[in-house]
A and B are shown apart, each in its own frame.
Chain A
Amino acid sequence: MLVSKNKATNSLLKSEKKSLLRFLTLYVAMVIFMITLLSVFYYQSQEKLMLADQRASLTKYAYIQTKRLKVLHYFFDERTTYPRDPRFKSAIYDIEFMKIFSILNDESIRFDEEIYITNKHIHFVKTLDTYYLGTKYLIIEVEDDGAWRGEIWKHILGYGLIAFFLFMLFGLFLAKLFLKPMRDSIMLLDRFIKDTTHELNTPLSAILANIEMMDTGVMVDKNKKKLNRINIAAKTVSTLYKDLTYLTLEQEKQNEDEEIAVKPVLENRVEYFDILAKSKNITFVLSLQHATIFIDRRKFIRVIDNLISNAIKYNKRGGEIEIVLQENMLSISDTGIGVSEDKIPFMFDRYMRFNQSEGGFGVGLSIVKKIVDEYNIQIEVESKEGEGTKMVLKW
């Protein structure tokens, strides 16, 4: 399915990032485990190969030493000097694993293995059929210079890194495939909203303009109430419309940043939402000092509108909204349903709604987050379920 992409859909959502991070962590762990396993197998096979190479010469040494033991056996007690060879060290053990004589450097012997590597030596255990001097086991020892080990490590590191790099490329490809269905559905939703929003503009403007123009002075109270309700409903839809328009069209517009006095903007927006708040008997408690902020007015209003609109939407009937403005700090707190602590990190995700009973698309806070991130404004959320939510902006 072909759907157009815009800036909003190109950025990863927090939930997407979390899924991606989990997948990548698991994938990397699996790749490391697999490469380690392959390295171990490679190391073992190379070690076996090296020992197979050594076996031929060690077998020859064992044969020579056996012949010398035979001679010593027949001339014992006249001769008691154990036969030595500059090419190797050796030891003889009886059938009960008792040491008869040894000139080995490393005495850790494994009688159940034919050839093995000790600390810095290679041992070859030859079992004799004729026990000269009682010798059942003849151990031949040669030095292990470890050069082969260095070579193997070089291969493991080299090929391991190449394999890791290739696996990572493959992982990224997989991750893209993994995220594609999620992306497609989000893009489809974006497209739908964009198309729908466009159709809302004309009727909404007509309703709001006509409400403004109506002469309420000549109206009976009953009709005034009805008009009031129409006004509230139209403003709610208007806020949503502005959010959706911002999300799909306006955010790509050039910023027109300016120094804004925050207090008058807040007063204006509180007045705008007052009718909506009154419909739920919600009162505003304002504590506003003078403060300024350098920002695009349009974007700042979107932030304030969304925060106030949420504070009204999720507040209880007869609740309060406290707005505190100080130099470089604005807080808007409500006495509403609140959000549990584990959900706070996902509050700013697009299409994320924790309360299905309230209307909306779940785009408001994602717009707020985008704007505050753009202007490096810090946003803090303090919320307690059943008690309310406090949003604090610091700049």
Chain B
Amino acid sequence: MVKKIVLFVVLTSGLFSQDAYERNCVGCHKDLPTTLQQMFKEYLQTYSGEENVKAGLKHYLRYPSKSISVMSELFIDSYGIKKKTTLNKKELDEAINIYWNKFKVFDKLK
């Protein structure tokens, strides 16, 4: 019984220690050949500014479609379009903010 409780605590604490981005994004993307950073650069190349990137990304996650995807046709043909997000607004914003802060170019150039 004690072993079960310890195992449960370890598993749940591991789950809750992850942020919205890691919980909801990393898991699915790790199986794709294109990294999240490369995708970020695609977004950056298309939308440029922070507000623009976030808005573009949010819109795509809510209403995924081939016509507004930043990825190449070859990629979409191979891996298809993702499913519509089930995250609520708060969680989606949080995940996107973390994603931006993780890969933004600001302060990284020297």
A360 at interface (Cβ–Cβ under 8 A)? no
- Assuming A77-B37, A95-B52, is B45 touching A131 (CB within 8 A)? yes
Pairwise interchain contact A96-B49, C-beta atoms closer than 8 A? yes
A130-B70 Cα distance, complex, nearest whole Å:
13
Choose one: B46, B51, B108, B109; the contact of A131 (CB below 8 Å). B46
Q: A80-B110, A100-B106 are in contact. Are A94 and B50 (CB under 8 A)?
A: yes
Most chain B CB neighbours (cut-off 10 Å) among A81, A101, A134: A134
Interface residues of B in 76-110 (CB under 8 A from A): 105-106, 108-110
Determine if B44 is an interface residue (Cβ-Cβ < 8 Å): yes
**Chain B residues whose CB sits within 8 angstroms of the CB of A130 once the complex forms:** 45
Candidates A77, A80, A82, A135; contact of B48 at CB < 8 Å: A135
Indicate if the CB atoms of A100 and B109 lie closer than 8 Å.
yes
**Shortest Cβ distance from residue B38 to the other chain A in the assembled complex, whole angstroms:** 9
Query: Contact partner of B50 among A77, A80, A96, A136, CB < 8 A?
Result: A96
How far is it, in angstroms, between the C-alpha of A82 and the C-alpha of B105 when the chains are bound?
A: 11
Q: Please name the residue on chain B nearest to A99 by beta carbon.
A: B106
Residue of A at shortest CB range from B38? A74
A100–B105 touching, CB < 8 Å = yes
Task: Give the distance to chain A from B96, nearest Cβ to Cβ, in Å.
Answer: 15
Residues of A within 8 A of B108 (CB): 76-77, 80
Interchain CB contact under 8 A, B41 and A80: no
Question: With a CB–CB cut-off of 8 A, which chain B residues contact A246?
Answer: none
- Which of the residues A81, A96, A135 comes within 8 Å of B110, measured between beta carbons? A81
A98 in the interface (beta carbon within 8 A): yes
Chain A, 44-102, CB within 8 A of any chain B CB: 73-74, 76-77, 80-82, 94-96, 98, 100-101
In the assembled complex, B60 has its CB within 8 A of some CB on chain A: no
Q: State whether A134 and B44 are in contact (beta carbons under 8 Å apart), knowing that A80-B109, A80-B110, A100-B105 are contacts in the complex.
A: yes
Known A73-B41, A73-B45, A134-B44; contact A82-B109, beta-carbon cutoff 8 A:
yes
CB proximity of B109 to chain A, nearest CB, Å: 4
Question: Is B21 an interface residue when CB atoms closer than 8 A count as contact?
Answer: no
Interface residues on B, range: 10 to 19
CA distance A81 to B109 in the complex (A): 6
| Interface of chain A: mostly helix, strand, loop or mixed | loop
What separation, in Å, do the CA atoms of A117 and B48 have in the docked complex?
27
Q: How far is the CB of A171 from chain B (nearest CB, A)?
A: 60
Q: At the interface, yes or no: A132 with Cβ under 8 Å from chain B?
A: yes
CA distance A81 to B110 in the complex (A): 5
Partner of B52, one of A76, A81, A96, A132: A96
Binary contact readout A88-131 vs B (1 if CB under 8 angstroms, 0 otherwise) = 00000011101011000000000000000000000000000011
CB <8 Å contact, B49 and A136: yes
**A24 is an interface residue with CB less than 8 A from chain B:** no
Tell me the residues in window 26-54 of chain B with beta carbons closer than 8 Å to chain A beta carbons.
37, 41, 44-53
Closest to B43 in A: A134
Residues of B near A131 (CB, < 8 A) are 44-48
**Contact at A132–B49, with CB atoms within 8 Å?**
no
Interface centre among B48, B50, B52 (most CB of A within 10 A): B48
Question: What is the bound-complex CA distance between A77 and B53, given in angstroms?
Answer: 18
B49 closest partner in A (C-beta) = A96
A136's partner among B37, B48, B106 (CB-CB below 8 A) is B48
In the complex, chain A residues whose CB is within 8 Å of the CB of B53:
134
A356 CB to nearest B CB, Å: 85
Closest to B46 in A: A131
Q: List 12 A-B contacts (CB under 8 A).
A: A94-B48, A95-B47, A98-B106, A100-B109, A131-B44, A131-B45, A131-B47, A132-B45, A133-B109, A134-B48, A134-B105, A135-B48
Given contacts A100-B106, A130-B45, A134-B53, 18 further A-B contacts (CB under 8 A): A73-B41, A76-B41, A76-B105, A81-B109, A82-B110, A95-B47, A95-B52, A98-B49, A98-B106, A100-B109, A101-B109, A131-B45, A131-B47, A133-B109, A134-B44, A134-B47, A134-B48, A136-B48
- Which are the 6 A-B pairs with shortest beta-carbon distances? A96-B49, A95-B48, A131-B48, A94-B49, A95-B49, A101-B109
